[in-house]
Amino acid sequence: MARKDDILKSFLTHELLESKYELKKDELPSSIREALNSDKSIIKAIALIVEGLDGSSPVTDPVLRNQVTQFLNEAL
């Protein structure tokens, strides 16, 4: 498992996300690629952040903030 997949998993298994968004551990994606294709906005947003900060070409904080904000605005 890649480092970014481990980071994603640590975020998605946090008890707050599990309780607030009713995420079931057996339904969570196991990789960034799966998470980026998720139909759940919270999973995809977290995957965008992890990919942006730990991906092959990391982006700056302002660029990442704009990407996540744009995604969330479109998801609503």
**Per-residue pLDDT tens digits of the chain, which is 76 residues long:** 688 999 999 999 998 888 898 888 888 999 999 999 999 999 999 999 999 988 777 788 999 999 999 999 998 7
pTM for the full predicted model: 0.88
The DSSP line for 13-75 is: T-HHHHHHS---GGGS-SSHHHHHT-SSHHHHHHHHHHHHHHSSS---HHHHHHHHHHHHHHH
CB neighbourhood size of 64 (10 A): 16
What pLDDT is attached to residue 23? 86
